[in-house]
Structure 1
Amino acid sequence: MTENSAAAAASSSAPVAPRRPTERRHHGDTVADPYEWLRAKDEPEVIAHLEAENAYTSARTAHLEGLRTRIFAEIKGRTQESDLSVPTRLGSWWYYGRTVEGRQYGIQCRAPLAAADDWTPPELSADVDVPGEQVLLDANVEADGHEFFAVGSFEVSTDGTRMLYGVDVEGDERYTLRVRDLGTGQNLPDEIPGTSAGASFSPDGRFIVYTTVDDAWRPDTVWLHELGTPVADDAKLFYEPDEKYWVGAGFTRSEKYLVIGVGSSITSEEWLVDAADLRQPPRVVWPRVEGVEYDSDHAVVDGQDVLYILHNQDALDFELVRVAASDPSGPREIVLPHRPGVRLLGLSTFRDVAVLGYRREGLARIGLFDYATGAVTELDFDEPLYAARVAGNPEWAPPVLRMGYASFVTPGTVYDYDLATGAKLLRKRQPVLGGYDPADYGQSREWATAADGTRVPISLVWKRSFGDPGGAPRPLHLYGYGSYEHSIEPGFSVARLSELDRGVVFAVAHVRGGGEMGRQWYEDGKLLHKRNTFTDFVDCARHLVSSGVTTPDRMVAEGGSAGGLLMGAVANLAPELFAGILADVPFVDALTTILDPTLPLTVIEWDEWGDPLHDAGVYAYMKSYTPYENVRDAAYPRILAVTSLNDTRVLYVEPAKWIARLREVGADALLKCEMAAGHGGVSGRYNAWRERAFELAWLLEVVGVAAA
């Protein structure tokens, strides 16, 4: 502990960051930023200040230690710590994950098939040995000696003889890629540092396709590495010079093509390489057109290789077309025409059938797509709010499709859908120990009316024994995001039960800028419409107060990353509506970041927020809402900001500056900075549970139920 942090802990006085104004000049506007000096991450004074903030936060929340301990024990007590996932079939093996009580990280394993035609996964038990089990990757062993550990790539070759995995031990999302011989258990000499996530084996197992990032952390180059050859000899398959575009690569499920995807927030482009000859030049599917997004997948129909392409050219909510794989820019057959309000999300192709994902009436749906007729058969589920998707299906011609399902009250569930009979075969439901009964909890959807008349959906979850929402005001936790067309789906959380069981209502404001209500919902909450995201959230909060669900002195708002921008904005717009604001890795100094093209990911973000560097109108609009620059002399709610020193997506300096500015106007604001973590926070499940217990203890005190 530094002298500065020790003094802060001893006196319980908030650290005071010195004011050292740095001038910023754009479009005739001069801003003197007093805390920009905190950006110098390697300066001892900056580290000392962050440590002082941590010490102050620790001192201010020390009285909650007992509650934190209880919440951690509740999360741990409800979790089956030694458990196994449902095995997934690939080749001659069943692949599955294992967790072991007392260990932070998962263990990746496999076991041989009982027979070649076996498609029924074995029912595994943590206390029974699995015949023929082979441990592929024990992350607990790999993480030994590191404060942070994350795996960004993990794949086994089609023939099952080798495994690749990428490891990050800093939190900066740069991974060292390694290859292991699964026969000997030894790593091969091939080791590739500085890769992005998502590397793949070629179908024949001879090559690895991987991506690297530029100085702004943008994946920009696709490489081909031949096993057993020097990394220096790797072939550059594709390079994208435009700073607005990300690059990724992967093989089709059919193993026919390598697909190189290039994309910004509003434009995409794909390139194909025949998997049988990866050194040939890629050929473009459709040349990029500004504002047009598309995604393709390979299928074989009537003996012909075709591409099904989902696109939004003159089709706001997307349409599906079919083209010849040999001539993608040739004639297009419209398979599913554009239907306003039905947002097509993606088509996943298999040999005999495809699965269509789409959104309708605010929920994500799954439909089986028939190649011959183009008909879509929607799969039905019993609950009014749910999240379902097809995932974990690496085989090209399976007789069953693996699906994941959950709701706010139903724990994560795995089904196999039998293509021959239409039966949903329950394979596993996430165990929740301690007598959890979904019937004890309720979920519903309400609608708030925004100032412009737009109806905004709100999801509510509660414990029934405390009464239904609206019967009497209750403490309430309101969550929001509202950017990048990202939808907050109905999902189950073990940690959330510690709130619900104390009488807190959990709510999600599905504000514009997200994707819940289709593409227009996103368009109406981005660029020069971004304020709709913030005012929608405020209107949702007001609705919950006016309808008797809660009161301002018992409501805490939470959001993270771009949702943290939302938190900072609503704190400025309507501080009187909330008792507290919980901001995780918050994007609260958005204008400063988006003005600097040398910072990680900035140029890519111009499609989402606008380009304030070159457009005076965008500059003025962003300056009008960016949280840090709009802190005002007001009675702010209590604020807790959580960040990580090694975050490359939202730099720690943003919340550090924001908290310093809030303290100038007398706000009760705390900053907690993880000194060895990235954008996703701490690594390791027990560490993550402790972190969430810390946040929930603070939240429960703010809404007045800390003693429960």
Structure 2
Amino acid sequence: MKTNTIYLFLITTVLFMACSKEKKQAEKKQVSIKAPVAKKIPEKLEAHGDTRVDDYFWMRLSDAQKNAETPDTQTQDVLDYLVAENTYKDSVMKHTQGIQEKLYNEIVGRIKKDDASVPYNDNGYSYYTRYEKGMDYALYCRKKLDDKEAKEGIILNGPKLAKGHSYFAVGTRTISTNNTLLAYSVDTVSRRRYTIYFKNLVSGELLPDVLENTSGNIVWANDNKTVFYASKDSVTLRQNKIYKHVLGTKQSEDVLVFDEKDETYYCFVFKSRSSKYIMIGSSQTLSTEYRYVSADTPNDDWKVIQPREKDLEYSVDHYKDHFYIRTNLDARNFRLVKTPITATTKENWVDVIPHREDVLLQSFVVFKEHLVLQERVNGLRTLRTMKWNGDNDHYIEFNDPAYASYLGDNLDYDTNILRYVYTSLTTPSSTIDYNMDSKEKVILKEQEVLDPNFSKDNYVSERVYATAKDGVKIPISIVYKKGIEKSSTTPLLLYSYGSYGYSSEPTFSSNRLSLLDRGFVYAIAHIRGGQEMGRHWYEDGKLLKKKNTFTDFIDCGEFLVEKGYTSPKHMYAMGGSAGGLLMGAVLNMKPELWNGVVAAVPFVDVVSTMMDETIPLTTFEFDEWGNPKNKEYYEYMKSYSPYDNVEAKEYPNIMITTGYWDSQVQYWEPAKWIAKLRELKTDDNMLIMDCDMKTGHGGASGRFERYKRTALNYAFMMDLEGIKE
């Protein structure tokens, strides 16, 4: 027996060693999978006597190439490269599949599956959306207000319409004045080119009218048969024409009512809150122009409110005998003026809310008896209400140190109830009805977090200020789980955007709980280029001052290290789109400050994109970034453009995401960038890219699919922190 036991022991040992060897060889094989190496075809790009050599210029494809039934050689090479990057990413992240799945289930598990929106009232009906369990898309519904026994009417069935599409998004839904016709728009490619359909809500049948290549927005005239919409340039995707369509006619017969010839502008159409006027707006970064026609007589000639001027911005709504206008005329932070409908040019404008140096007027809403102002004070959004005669002028009170408030669905014009949404870093989004006379608040719904362990009291938020290199104080909003010790080993994610005057708001995210509950600190840097601290905040982070955006972010990161929140070995940075440009810039400028960076749909090839006016968004963004045909702007852009400034040096771990059908930041920018980074970087840190071959700028459609990428991004950072569960 003893001999047999020894024999069995030896056999078992040999088998175990063989299995271990095979396992190690398999692991070694997985680790040794080589990253894709993109071929190099030097392309000389010359401007202002300067030559840039772009070895990866060949990755750019036209829409025609992408849509061709049979790919040409170049298209196939691009597709092969993108697939290779995805395969490499899958290989590198394979060992995190378990935590990715766990994170995804956590995130989705916190979301109520049979949820419904708070109903809003419009023209005798109550409208809402709802989800049923197992559905990725919403049901769009309504009920008649004056009928207590009214049954639900499903005006649009999202799950049914989405069937068979890898991507599906509903754009605008607009009801005719007589409540019998629905106009709605759909995008099934993710290029933000919408097709408009019409549905008879009485019979449930679709009308034969179909309008293609639109922005997705539809406006009804009051005759219930005429609609206005914006079409897009087939190459640049610029909204450049407004058409009038009469139901029962072909799109080819539609009347062109406005053609925006200036390639630096785009146009759009909307209806005044009073429903009296249809308005066409033309806009670029620093200039706007509006024209109007009566919604009762849509065939009349259009009248211009105030002709466009350089650096003159304004927006318009209607109340009684006046147009009310938010404008920057003699008002850096904007003011509210009014002008008679019979005399609309700027010399007739009279102050309603004068300009203030310390308050930014962001928007306004008119009601029959009240005026509501969305303002920004000390970097935070506020809501101010008053009677038209100025009585009961007050701000709605908010208590969190960092929060955000938004105007909700306020389609009912004749009411004293203001609907708004409130949220903070620790407070789930709440929809609130506010009585503008009595100041009474009614919370209609608070976002439900399906986690028995969740309580907003378990988390702490802070508002601190970093000092920029030029002495300016930069706000930082911070949230973390109560009891977490902040030290040099604490993982911290720093997020920002910092462009277009878009402010990064301190809002709640149930997704983020997966980070906070695992010990991460989450921080938002309110850097210049946004508009948190007023209009000057935006102006000091654009054009020839754009680098302030990047240095502010770095200064915020260094501040958090200095104050003991984290250290460079445990700090992560994240941003998307123009925030991806921010990521690319700080990677080049201060790579040693971050352990990992997530750059989502990153705008990184700034010079080449802004030189190419056939690319969507280029022409009307010259006032944001500058026109590189001007040598001064060319040289300044080139000095910070992430793609042009990749160097042979060590970079931190980097995760890049993009979408093949992205119309905002074309996929080839991140694809070229990762190829150049991989060629030049001198470290062995992770460098991976996730290219979704079915989607565009906003990622996956549907309710839950998008969270797979969120789980991937979180797993990337957690893996670097050694967090396995």
* Interval of TM-score (by shorter of Structure 1 and Structure 2): over 0.9
The 2-side partners of 1:501 and 1:705 are apart by 15
State the shift of 1:420 in Å: 3.7
State the shift of 1:232 in Å: 1.6
2:699 counterpart of 1:699: no
Q: 1:65 is matched by which residue type in structure 2?
A: Q
SS at match of 1:656: helix
The 2-side partners of 1:692 and 1:251 are apart by 37
Q: 2:180 is matched by which residue type in structure 1?
A: T
2:634 counterpart of 1:619: yes
2:579 counterpart of 1:563: yes
- After superposition, give the CA deviation of every residue in 1:326-369 in whole Å (9 maximum; x if it has no partner): 21125222121111121111111111112111111000111113
2:282 counterpart of 1:262: yes
- After superposition, give the CA deviation of every residue in 1:381-407 in whole Å (9 maximum; x if it has no partner): 222221112221112212322111111
2:211 counterpart of 1:189: no
Partner of 1:173: 192
Instruction: Decide which of 527, 546, 558 is 1:542's aligned counterpart.
Output: 558
Moved more, 666-675 or 436-445: 666-675
Contact 2:386/2:436 (<8 A) preserved: no
Contact 2:492/2:570 (<8 A) preserved: yes
Contact 1:448/1:457 (<8 A) preserved: yes
State the shift of 1:177 in Å: 0.4
Partner of 1:635: 650
Partner of 2:72: none
Q: 2:101 is matched by which residue type in structure 1?
A: T
- After superposition, give the CA deviation of every residue in 1:196-232 in whole Å (9 maximum; x if it has no partner): 1221222332211110011211101111111112222
Partner of 1:597: 613
Instruction: Decide which of 450, 461, 464 is 2:482's aligned counterpart.
Output: 464
Instruction: Decide which of 84, 90, 93 is 1:52's aligned counterpart.
Output: 84
Contact 1:9/1:58 (<8 A) preserved: no
Structure 1 runs of 4+ aligned residues shifted over 4 Å read 8-11, 470-473
- After superposition, give the CA deviation of every residue in 1:418-468 in whole Å (9 maximum; x if it has no partner): 23422111111011011221000111111001111111011101110324x
The 2-side partners of 1:464 and 1:166 are apart by 45
Q: 2:481 is matched by which residue type in structure 1?
A: K
The 2-side partners of 1:629 and 1:420 are apart by 57
Relative distance call for 1:49 and 1:694 in structure 2 (3 A) is: same
The 2-side partners of 1:109 and 1:332 are apart by 42
Alignment of 1:255-654 (within 5 A): 255-300=275-320, 305-329=321-345, 330-373=347-390, 376-435=393-452, 436-467=454-485, 470=486, 473-613=489-629, 615-654=630-669
The 1-side partners of 2:80 and 2:704 are apart by 27
Partner of 1:80: 112
- After superposition, give the CA deviation of every residue in 1:60-86 in whole Å (9 maximum; x if it has no partner): 101111001111111122111111111
Contact 2:369/2:416 (<8 A) preserved: no
State the shift of 1:185 in Å: 1.1
Partner of 1:252: 272
Contact 2:85/2:689 (<8 A) preserved: yes
Contact 2:506/2:524 (<8 A) preserved: no
Partner of 2:691: 673
Contact 2:226/2:246 (<8 A) preserved: yes
State the shift of 1:590 in Å: 0.9
Alignment of 1:145-160 (within 5 A): 145-160=164-179
The 2-side partners of 1:396 and 1:234 are apart by 31
State the shift of 1:473 in Å: 4.4
State the shift of 1:114 in Å: 4.5
Partner of 1:138: 157
Contact 2:196/2:216 (<8 A) preserved: no
- After superposition, give the CA deviation of every residue in 1:237-290 in whole Å (9 maximum; x if it has no partner): 211100111101100110111111111011111111111111112111111110
Relative distance call for 1:502 and 1:156 in structure 2 (3 A) is: same
The 2-side partners of 1:374 and 1:517 are apart by 28
State the shift of 1:164 in Å: 1.0
Contact 1:556/1:580 (<8 A) preserved: yes
- After superposition, give the CA deviation of every residue in 1:675-703 in whole Å (9 maximum; x if it has no partner): 0101101111221111211111112222x
State the shift of 1:9 in Å: 8.2
Contact 2:488/2:561 (<8 A) preserved: no
State the shift of 1:373 in Å: 2.6
The 2-side partners of 1:671 and 1:439 are apart by 37
Q: 1:526 is matched by which residue type in structure 2?
A: K
CA RMSD of aligned residues (A): 1.6
- After superposition, give the CA deviation of every residue in 1:590-643 in whole Å (9 maximum; x if it has no partner): 111001112112111111000112x11111110000000101122100111100
The 1-side partners of 2:647 and 2:298 are apart by 58
State the shift of 1:490 in Å: 1.6
SS at match of 1:166: strand
Contact 2:48/2:631 (<8 A) preserved: yes
Moved more, 195-204 or 91-100: 195-204
2:26 counterpart of 1:26: no
Moved more, 381-390 or 510-519: 381-390
Structure index of larger Rg: 2
Identity percentage of aligned residues: 40
Unaligned runs of at least 5 residues, structure 2: 1-28, 66-74
Give the alignment's TM-score, normalised by structure 2.
0.92
State the shift of 1:375 in Å: 7.1
Contact 1:473/1:548 (<8 A) preserved: no
2:237 counterpart of 1:221: no
Contact 1:352/1:397 (<8 A) preserved: yes
- After superposition, give the CA deviation of every residue in 1:306-332 in whole Å (9 maximum; x if it has no partner): 111111112111111111012112522
Give the alignment's TM-score, normalised by structure 1.
0.94
The 1-side partners of 2:308 and 2:262 are apart by 12
The 2-side partners of 1:457 and 1:106 are apart by 37
Q: 2:698 is matched by which residue type in structure 1?
A: G
SS at match of 2:348: coil
Q: 2:239 is matched by which residue type in structure 1?
A: P
The 1-side partners of 2:222 and 2:274 are apart by 10
SS at match of 2:170: strand
The 2-side partners of 1:239 and 1:633 are apart by 48
Contact 1:151/1:166 (<8 A) preserved: yes
2:252 counterpart of 1:232: yes
- After superposition, give the CA deviation of every residue in 1:469-510 in whole Å (9 maximum; x if it has no partner): x46641001101100000011211111000000010000111
State the shift of 1:374 in Å: 7.7
Q: 1:411 is matched by which residue type in structure 2?
A: P
SS at match of 1:483: coil
Contact 1:477/1:506 (<8 A) preserved: yes
The 2-side partners of 1:369 and 1:297 are apart by 17
Relative distance call for 1:409 and 1:326 in structure 2 (3 A) is: same
Unaligned runs of at least 5 residues, structure 1: 1-7, 119-129
Moved more, 220-229 or 522-531: 220-229
Contact 1:355/1:390 (<8 A) preserved: no
2:138 counterpart of 1:106: yes
Moved more, 660-669 or 207-216: 660-669
Contact 1:575/1:634 (<8 A) preserved: no
The 2-side partners of 1:112 and 1:375 are apart by 33
The 1-side partners of 2:123 and 2:360 are apart by 35
Q: 1:32 is matched by which residue type in structure 2?
A: V
- After superposition, give the CA deviation of every residue in 1:542-593 in whole Å (9 maximum; x if it has no partner): 0000000001111110000000000000000000000011010000111110
